[in-house]
Structure 1
Amino acid sequence: MNKRFFSVIAFIALFVSFLGLPLVSQADDKTPEGELRVGMEAGYAPFNWTQKDDRNGAVQIQGDKSYAGGYDVEIAKRIADKMNRKLVIVKTEWDGLLPALQSGKIDAVIAGMSPTEERRKEIDFSDDYYESQLVIITRKDSKYAKATSLKDFSGAKITAQLSTFHYGVIDQIPNVNKQQAMDNFPAMRVALESGTIDGYVGERPEGVTVESVNPDLNMVEFPEGQGFQTNPEDVQVSVGMRKGDPLLSEVNQVLSTISADERTDIMDQAIKNQPASEESTTESGKQENVFIRILKQNGMMFLRGTGMTLLLAIVGTTVGTGIGLLIGVFRTIPESKNSAKRGMQKVVGWLLNAYIEIFRGTPMIVQSAVIYYGIAMAFGIDLNRTAAALFIVSINTGAYMSEIVRGGIYSVDKGQFEAAHAIGMTHGQTMSKVVLPQVLRNILPATGNELVINIKDTSVLSIISVSELFFQGKSAAGTNYLFFQTYFIICVIYFVLTFSATRLLRLVEKKMDGPDAYARLEETDVAIEADK
C-alpha cells in the first residue's frame, strides 16, 4: 500500500510539473537584442492595468496570457517603437520594481513613478512624461468630502502608498492622524470603503478614475495655495533606468517628441478605456451580477493564478518532504569511528542546522527577494522566476519538514531499532524497511498541514513577479475597483483549494491505515460518549 501510495504522489507531482513547464520555459534571460523590458504593477489604473485581451492596444504580459494597458503602456509603446525595439511588459509588484531594475530583470520602470531624491540615489530618471497634482480620496458621505484646504482634514486618519513621496506629504496636514503606509492602491481603497481610514493621498488621474467607477468615493482637489506643497520632481512621473544606462538619452529624445497636448489626450483616452469604466448589462437590459462580471473579465486570470499556486504548493511540498527525509535519515547515522568521517559528519550536521535555523527563522518573502534579486545583483546569475519560486518554496518547506521528520523518527520505539539490528539489519535497511514506513504515516498529517500552508503562503512570491492567485486577484481589484467582491472570490478559491487538499489527505490516511483502524476509532468514540 505504501509503495503504491508514494507512486501515486510522485505521479501527481510529475503531472503538475508537466503542466507548469510552459510557465517555467518563460526564461528570464538577459534582455535579448532588440527588446525593451519594462516593469510595472499592471494594477494602478489609469496608469497601468491588467485585462484579458489586446483591445485598445494592450500589450501581452511576459509569461502570462493577460495583457497590460494604460497610460504607461502607451508611453512605453512609443519609446520602444522609436528605438526600434520590441516592447516586453514584465508585471512586477511595486516593491520589486527597483530590485528588478537594478538586478537586470527589466530595462526600465514605467509605472507612474516619481523621480524623488531618494530614488535618484539608486537609479537614474528620464525627463518627465506626465505631471499631476496631489489629491485626497475620501468617502462621499464623509465630513471631509467638502474640504477645501489641508486644515479641513485635521484629525482625519490618512495614509498613502508605501515607498512613495505621497506618504511623506501627509505630515503637512495639521493634527493629522497618520496611518501606517499600505503597499498598494487596492489595499487603500478597501480600507477607505470599510471605514478603517478617512482618506488616502493620490494623484489626480487616480481620483478621477475612482469617482467615475465608485459613486461612494470622492476626490478632494485643493485651490492653489491650500493643498500640498511639493517639489516639481514630486508631481512629475518619469522613466526609471539603471545608473549610467546609455539608453537614457534615447528615452529622453523620444519623450521630447510627445507634446503636452498629446500626453493629455493619451491620459484622457486611458481613463476612458480602463476596464473599470465598462458597464455590463444582460440581454434584457438589466445590470449584470457583479460577481459574474468579475469572473467574465478575470476568470482566466484567476484560473492561471490557481494553477500556478497549486504547482508551487504541490511540487514545493513534495520536494521539501524529500529534503526533510534526507536530513532526518542523515541525523540518525551512527557516529563514525574514523576521525576524518566523524569530522565530516559534524561539519555537514552544522551546515544542516544552519540551513534549518535560517530558513525557519526568516520570512519567505525576504528569502524570495534575496535569492531572486540578490543572486542576480551579486553574481550576475539571472534565474527563471518560476524555477526560483519552486526552489524557494521547496527549501523553505524542507527546513520545516526536517524537524517534522525528526519528531517522526523519535516517535518510533527504540526497541524496533534494537530488534532490527539484532537480526543483522544494517542501519540503511533498518531505516528503509522498519522506521521510515512508520515515520511517513506518522508525519502525514503534518505534511498535509505544510501543503495547506504553502497554498496560502505562495502569495508572498508576487514580490518576484510570480503571477500566483493572490497577485492576479490584486491586479484585478486594482483594475476594476470592485475590491470586496474580487477578494471574496479569491477567498473562496483559496478555501476550495485548502479544503480539497485536507479531504484528499484524510482519504489517503484512511487508505494507509485500513478500514479496521477507523472502525476501532469510531467504536472508541462511541464508548467515550456512553461513559459521559
Structure 2
Amino acid sequence: MNKRIFSVIALLAMFVTFLGMPQVSRADDKTPEGELRVGMEAGYAPFNWTQKDDRNGAVPIQGDRAYAGGYDVEIAKRVADQMNRKLVIVKTEWDGLLPALQSGKIDAVIAGMSPTAERRKEVDFSDNYYESQLVIITRKDSKYATATSLADFSGAKITGQLSTFHYDVIDQIPDVQKQQAMDNFPAMRVALESGTIDGYVGERPEGVTVEAVNPDLKMIEFAPADGFQSNPEDVQVSVGMRKGDPLMAEVNQILAGIPLDERTQIMDQAIKDQPASEESASSDSNENALVRIIKQNGMMFLRGTGMTLLLAIFGTTVGTGIGLLIGVFRSLPEAKSGIKRGLQKGFGWLLNIYIEVFRGTPMIVQSAVIYYGIAMAFGIDLNRTAAALFIVSINTGAYMSEIVRGGIYAVEKGQFEAAQAIGMTHGQMMRKVILPQVLRNILPATGNELVINIKDTSVLSIISVSELFFQGKSAAGTNYMFFQTYFIICVIYFVLTFTATRLLRLVEKKMDGPSAYVRLEESDVAIEADK
C-alpha cells in the first residue's frame, strides 16, 4: 500500500511541477529570422522611456502594450533599418541588461551604456554613438545650487547609479559623504526630492531633462578643470554586443554613417519629445497630479495589477499543492523493506534540500539564477512570465511545506490512532480525516502567504516581468512625478492585500460554521453549570 501511495504522490508532484514549469526553447533558436532584439530600461529619459502610444516614432515593447521612445530608440531604428531587420525592444532592468545579452535573450544593448573597462571584460562594445559630460543634479534651494566646482560639494551626500562609473567618480569630491548606490535614476530623483541625498551624478541629457520638468531641481555643470576627471570612454555611449559577435563590424559601419550634427539633432528632438516635457507644456495647471497620472498610465497600472494578481494567486495555489504533497509524504510511515526505506529517506533528503535552499535565499536571487543562469549555463530560454510563475510557485511551496507540517502536527494524535484502529489505510486517513482539518488549520497562514506574494512579486522586476511595481517605476521614470506615482502604486497594493485578507476571512468563517459551534459551546456551559 505504501508503494501505491508513494507512486500517487510522485505522480501528483510531477503534474503540479509541470503546471509551474516555464516553457523552454534553445537559446540559439529563439531569435526569429530578420529581427534585432535590443535591450533597454525604457525608463532613462531622454535616452529611453516608456509611453502609451506610438507618437514621435516610438516602437512597441515586446510582451507589453506600451511603446519605447528616446534617443536610444532612434539609434536602434537606424541600425535595424540598415541591417534590414525588424527592431524589437525588450524592456529590461539595468542590472539585467548584461545577463540578458550574455544569455542570448537580446542581441544588443542600446541603453545609454558606457563602454567601461570592467564591462569590456564581459561584452564587446561598438564605436560610440553619443558623448556627454558628467554633471551633478541637486535641489535648487540647497546650498549646493551655486556650486561651480567639485570642491563646493565637500560634505555633501552624493550617490550614483549602481554598476556605473557615475558612482565611482564620486570619490573625486573632497570629503564627500558617499551614499549607497541606487538601482535607477527614478529612485535617485525621489531620494533627492525627499532630502535623503544632496545630489546625484548623471550625464548632461539627464540634467537638462530634470531641469525642464522639475523646477525644484538644478543641474550643476563644471568647467573641464573643476569637474570630474574621467577616461574618454567613460562619457561615451556605445552599443553592447556579445563577445565575438560577427555583426559588430556592420554596426560600427552604420554608426559611422550617422554624422555628429545628426546625432545632436536626434538628442535635441528626444529631449523635446519625451513625455514629461510634453506633459509639462500641455498639462492643465488646475488638474490634480494624481488624476493626470492615472489618466496617462491607468491602463499600464491595470495590466501590472493583473500580472501581480496572476503571479500571486497562481503561485500561492500551486505552492500550497506542493506543500500538501510534501506534507503527506513526510507523514508516511517508514517502509519496512530496506530498498523502499532507502528510497524514502533519499527522497526526503532531496525535499529537505529544496526547502532549505528556497527558504534560505531571497526570491530576487532565485529569479536571477533561474531566469538568467539557466540560459547562460544550458542555453535554455525561459519564457519570462512562465518563469515568474514557476519561481513564485516553488518559492511558496518551500514555505507551505513547513506550514502544512505544522498543520498536520496540530491535529490531535488520537485521531491518527482512531483512524488506524478502524482499519483505515494511510491514504484514507489523510484524505478523510487529517487533510480536511489541516486545510482549515493552515488557512490563515495560506492567506498570509498570498498577501506576501502580492507584495513580493515586485522583486520579479529583476527579470523585467511587467508586474505592478515594474510598471509604476517605468511611469515614474517617464513623468518625473515620483511621489505621486509611487503613492498610487502604494494604494493599489493596499487595496489588493486588504481585499485578499477580507475575502479569506470570509472563507475562514464559512469553514468554521460559527453559529453551530457557538450553540454547542453554550450548551456545554449550561451542562457544566447544572453540575
TM-score by length of 2: 0.92
The answer to whether the 8 Å contact 2:93/2:464 transfers is yes
Looking at structure 1, the residues matched to 33 and 192 of structure 2 have their Cα atoms a distance apart, in angstroms, of 45
* Cα displacement string for residues 262-287 of structure 1 (whole angstroms, at most 9, x for unaligned residues): 0000000000000101237999x653
The answer to whether the 8 Å contact 1:282/1:288 transfers is no
Matches within 5 A, 1:60-459: 60-279=60-279, 286-459=285-458
Q: Which residue of 2 aligns with 1:510?
A: 509
Amino acid at match of 1:408: G
Amino acid at match of 1:118: E
Looking at structure 2, the residues matched to 339 and 494 of structure 1 have their Cα atoms a distance apart, in angstroms, of 52
Looking at structure 2, the residues matched to 223 and 133 of structure 1 have their Cα atoms a distance apart, in angstroms, of 10
* Cα displacement string for residues 136-167 of structure 1 (whole angstroms, at most 9, x for unaligned residues): 00000000001000000000000000000000
Q: Which residue of 2 aligns with 1:49?
A: 49
Looking at structure 2, the residues matched to 454 and 521 of structure 1 have their Cα atoms a distance apart, in angstroms, of 38
Q: Which residue of 2 aligns with 1:40?
A: 40
Looking at structure 1, the residues matched to 124 and 318 of structure 2 have their Cα atoms a distance apart, in angstroms, of 41
The aligned length equals: 502
Matches within 5 A, 1:452-491: 452-491=451-490
SS at match of 2:37: strand
The answer to whether the 8 Å contact 1:281/1:287 transfers is no
Please report how far the alpha carbon of residue 515 of structure 1 lies from its aligned counterpart in structure 2 after TM superposition: 3.6
SS at match of 2:381: coil
* Cα displacement string for residues 65-89 of structure 1 (whole angstroms, at most 9, x for unaligned residues): 0000000000000000000000000
Looking at structure 2, the residues matched to 412 and 339 of structure 1 have their Cα atoms a distance apart, in angstroms, of 30
The answer to whether the 8 Å contact 2:24/2:382 transfers is no
Taking structure 1 as reference, are residues 232 and 395 closer, same or farther at Cα in structure 2, changes over 3 Å only? same
Looking at structure 2, the residues matched to 216 and 58 of structure 1 have their Cα atoms a distance apart, in angstroms, of 29
SS at match of 2:225: coil
Looking at structure 2, the residues matched to 521 and 499 of structure 1 have their Cα atoms a distance apart, in angstroms, of 32
Looking at structure 1, the residues matched to 282 and 210 of structure 2 have their Cα atoms a distance apart, in angstroms, of 24
Looking at structure 2, the residues matched to 252 and 517 of structure 1 have their Cα atoms a distance apart, in angstroms, of 78
* Cα displacement string for residues 337-394 of structure 1 (whole angstroms, at most 9, x for unaligned residues): 0000000000000000000000000000110011011111111111101110000000
Dislocated runs of 4+, deviation >6 Å = 23-29, 280-283, 520-523
Taking structure 1 as reference, are residues 25 and 358 closer, same or farther at Cα in structure 2, changes over 3 Å only? closer
The answer to whether the 8 Å contact 1:192/1:199 transfers is yes
Unaligned runs of 5+ in 1: 1-17, 524-532
The answer to whether the 8 Å contact 1:137/1:201 transfers is yes
Looking at structure 2, the residues matched to 517 and 306 of structure 1 have their Cα atoms a distance apart, in angstroms, of 39
Please report how far the alpha carbon of residue 293 of structure 1 lies from its aligned counterpart in structure 2 after TM superposition: 1.1
* Cα displacement string for residues 75-127 of structure 1 (whole angstroms, at most 9, x for unaligned residues): 00000000000000000000000000000000000000000000000000000
Looking at structure 2, the residues matched to 263 and 86 of structure 1 have their Cα atoms a distance apart, in angstroms, of 22
Q: Which residue of 1 aligns with 2:14?
A: none
Looking at structure 1, the residues matched to 517 and 423 of structure 2 have their Cα atoms a distance apart, in angstroms, of 35
* Cα displacement string for residues 4-55 of structure 1 (whole angstroms, at most 9, x for unaligned residues): xxxxxxxxxxxxxx9x9xx999999611110000000000000000000000
The answer to whether the 8 Å contact 2:25/2:382 transfers is no
The answer to whether the 8 Å contact 1:108/1:242 transfers is yes
The answer to whether the 8 Å contact 1:280/1:293 transfers is no
Amino acid at match of 1:60: P
The answer to whether the 8 Å contact 1:281/1:288 transfers is no
Taking structure 1 as reference, are residues 125 and 139 closer, same or farther at Cα in structure 2, changes over 3 Å only? same
Q: Which residue of 1 aligns with 2:498?
A: 499
The answer to whether the 8 Å contact 1:24/1:386 transfers is no
The answer to whether the 8 Å contact 2:25/2:380 transfers is no
Amino acid at match of 2:226: Q
Q: Which residue of 1 aligns with 2:4?
A: none
Looking at structure 2, the residues matched to 496 and 253 of structure 1 have their Cα atoms a distance apart, in angstroms, of 53
* Cα displacement string for residues 219-265 of structure 1 (whole angstroms, at most 9, x for unaligned residues): 00001210000100000000000000001111101100101100000
Q: Which residue of 2 aligns with 1:529?
A: none
The answer to whether the 8 Å contact 2:26/2:379 transfers is no
Looking at structure 2, the residues matched to 306 and 385 of structure 1 have their Cα atoms a distance apart, in angstroms, of 17
Taking structure 1 as reference, are residues 286 and 155 closer, same or farther at Cα in structure 2, changes over 3 Å only? closer
Looking at structure 2, the residues matched to 286 and 357 of structure 1 have their Cα atoms a distance apart, in angstroms, of 55
Taking structure 1 as reference, are residues 521 and 175 closer, same or farther at Cα in structure 2, changes over 3 Å only? farther
Amino acid at match of 1:390: L
SS at match of 1:337: coil
The answer to whether the 8 Å contact 1:26/1:63 transfers is no
Looking at structure 1, the residues matched to 469 and 275 of structure 2 have their Cα atoms a distance apart, in angstroms, of 19
Greater mean alpha carbon deviation, residues 390-399 or residues 376-385: 376-385
Amino acid at match of 1:293: R
The answer to whether the 8 Å contact 2:41/2:91 transfers is yes
Looking at structure 2, the residues matched to 508 and 150 of structure 1 have their Cα atoms a distance apart, in angstroms, of 62
Looking at structure 2, the residues matched to 234 and 328 of structure 1 have their Cα atoms a distance apart, in angstroms, of 55
Taking structure 1 as reference, are residues 519 and 251 closer, same or farther at Cα in structure 2, changes over 3 Å only? farther
Percent identity, please.
86
Greater mean alpha carbon deviation, residues 492-501 or residues 26-35: 26-35
SS at match of 2:125: strand
Amino acid at match of 1:101: L
Q: RMSD of aligned C-alpha atoms?
A: 2.1
Looking at structure 2, the residues matched to 25 and 369 of structure 1 have their Cα atoms a distance apart, in angstroms, of 16
Unaligned runs of 5+ in 2: 1-18, 523-531
Please report how far the alpha carbon of residue 518 of structure 1 lies from its aligned counterpart in structure 2 after TM superposition: 7.8
Taking structure 1 as reference, are residues 26 and 470 closer, same or farther at Cα in structure 2, changes over 3 Å only? farther
Looking at structure 2, the residues matched to 340 and 25 of structure 1 have their Cα atoms a distance apart, in angstroms, of 35
Please report how far the alpha carbon of residue 465 of structure 1 lies from its aligned counterpart in structure 2 after TM superposition: 1.4
* Cα displacement string for residues 177-219 of structure 1 (whole angstroms, at most 9, x for unaligned residues): 1000000001100000000000000000000000000000000
